Amino acid sequence: KIVSRAWLRTLTKTMRDQPELMGTSQTMWALADDQVDQYLKGHHYNLKEKQLALVDKLKEEGKLELRWNSVFFSKGDSKMPENAGILSAIVGSVLTLLVTMAFAFPIGVMTAIYLEEFASDNRFTRFVEVNINNLAAIPSILFGLLGLSVFINLFGLPRSSPLVGGITLALMTLPIIIVSSRAALRSVPESIRHAGYGLGLNKIQVVKDHVLPIALPGILTGTIIGMAQAMGETAPLIIIGMIAFIPDSPSSIMEAATVLPAQIFTWAGMPERAYVEKTAAGIVVILSILITLNAAAIYLRKKYEIKW
């Protein structure tokens, strides 16, 4: 009981892979059960008197050590709290965000360029602008219902996959990228455009070679902020099934996966006390990622911003 079942499985696998160890005496460290961890930290525990006596004896002999929890970063989810980690959730989040970026960035930037530089002021453009603003106000859970009904039920894409999650989050991120890209394009002085026309350039050349490079830092800033928002979304991904128990990391965007916010949500609902610490550690990780993304956006804006 005081040794983790996950470590016992690892020991069995080691003996199977290295049969020469049979019949020999080996000294190795074992991963303690979560109940031992709770006992040593002064929380509620479920250990018998003999087990408590053994734990106390090991502690007195210096055979109990508190070490860096590398398992938390090197393994996926587990039914045993002491062996649960965020690796599979991190990989799922990365794949999902890559899909989101692949769909949202080009579509959002091209839409912003069309509306700001090429489209005339008519009913159609006003209709598009109103709908873009409305998209930003729609509750995120409705995007999850859209992903479930259209991408999974209608088109038959695999449930719980980063592909479906990424496309769903791309729809949520589009308004942010479009609005920020339009603001960046609008900040470029008209004199830049007029100078290009004076040199004989056409509209496409002026936008491609002069306006877009100047507006790119603002566009990237808005995109990073949109990705940070997508990174923290949970509700739409729960609807499309990305809250399943996924112990192994996905190797493609078509395999079942979970994401870090959904993993934190799952751990928060587990009855074992040890999952509370996993939840807190996961929150610290996702906050660190979000702070890093926002810091990168601020850095890009400050470093490449051109003041006129």
Contact indicator for 261, 97 with CB cutoff of 8 Å: no
Contact indicator for 84, 37 with CB cutoff of 8 Å: no
Average pLDDT, the chain: 89
* Residue listed under structure tokens 């209709």: 127
Residues 191-214 have a mean pLDDT of 91
Residue 304: pLDDT over 80: no
Residue 152: pLDDT over 70: yes
Tokens standing for residue 273: 């006390």
Residue 257: pLDDT over 90: yes
Q: How far apart are the first and last CA of the chain?
A: 69
Residue 283: pLDDT over 90: yes
Statement: 87-304 belongs to CATH 1.10.3720.10: yes
Tell me what pLDDT residue 308 has: 66
Cα–Cα distance, 117 to 182 (Å, whole number): 9
Tell me what pLDDT residue 31 has: 85
Q: Give residue 76's identity as a one-letter amino acid code.
A: G
Residues 134-142 have a mean pLDDT of 87
Residue 301: pLDDT over 90: no
Cα–Cα distance, 36 to 28 (Å, whole number): 18
Residues 245-251 have a mean pLDDT of 88
Nearest to 173 by CA among 215, 143, 214: 143
The pLDDT-based confidence of 59 (bands split at 50, 70, 90) is: confident
Q: Over the stretch 261-275, which tens digit does the pLDDT of each residue have?
A: 999 999 999 888 888
Q: Whole-prediction pTM value?
A: 0.86
Alpha carbons within 13 angstroms on the beta-carbon side of residue 305 total 11
Cα–Cα distance, 172 to 41 (Å, whole number): 42
The pLDDT-based confidence of 149 (bands split at 50, 70, 90) is: very high
Cα–Cα distance, 15 to 24 (Å, whole number): 11
Residue 3: pLDDT over 80: yes
DSSP assignment string, the chain: --B-HHHHHHHHHHHHH-GGGTT-------PBPHHHHHHHTTS-----HHHHHHHHHHHHTT-------THHHHS---SSGGG--SHHHHHHHHHHHHHHHHHHHHHHHHHHHIIIII--SSHHHHHHHHHHHHHHHS-HHHHHHHIIIIIIIIT-PPTT-HHHHHHHHHHHHHHHHHHHHHHHHHTS-HHHHHHHHHTT--HHHHIIIIIHHHHHHHHHHHHHHHHHHHHT--HHHHHTTTTS---S--SSTTS----HHHHHHHHHT-SSTHHHHHHHHHHHHHHHHHHHHHHHHHHHHHHH----
Delimiting residues of CATH 1.10.3720.10 domain(s) in the chain:
87-304
Residues 83-100 have a mean pLDDT of 94
